[in-house]
Amino acid sequence: MRVTPHSSKDAVEGLGEDASGCHLKIRVRAVPEDGKANAAVEALLARALSLPKSAVSVEKGGASRIKTVRIAAGPDIAPGIARALVTLTGVTDAG
């Protein structure tokens, strides 16, 4: 995902593409200091996916705009996460 910190609002803005590839666009109001923007990304995605904050964590890119997150959820929750991601991105088929 590509994160824009210090934005005017917290929002998941769908898919985007640049030289680094296709990514989910995220905006957060938090500043990129002391992990505040990363924490805001985790909270925003957890809220958007109806998961507890502890289920979403930034795994790569802690000091970069391009980030990889881990979503920890059981198999019974996976279909709901998939539906939420379709809603957030507008993508219905990965192929």
Asked if 10 contacts 31 with a C-beta cutoff of 8 angstroms, the reply is no
Measured distance CA(32)–CA(40) in Å, rounded: 10
pLDDT above 60 for 1: yes
Contacts of 17 (CB under 8 A, 6+ apart): 23
pLDDT in the model for residue 61: 92
Q: Which domains does the chain have, with CATH numbers?
A: 2-89 (3.30.1200.10)
Q: What's the full length of the chain, in residues?
A: 95
Amino acid in the structure at residue 19: A
Tens-place pLDDT, residues 10-31: 999 988 888 878 888 999 999 9
Tens-place pLDDT, residues 56-95: 999 999 999 999 999 887 778 777 777 777 777 776 665 5
Q: What is the pTM of this model?
A: 0.83
Cα-to-chain-centroid distance, residue 58: 9
Confidence of residue 5 (pLDDT cuts 50, 70, 90): very high
pLDDT in the model for residue 31: 96
Across 32-48, average pLDDT: 94
Measured distance CA(70)–CA(42) in Å, rounded: 9
Q: Would you say the C-alpha torsion 51, 67, 38, 12 has a positive or negative sign?
A: negative
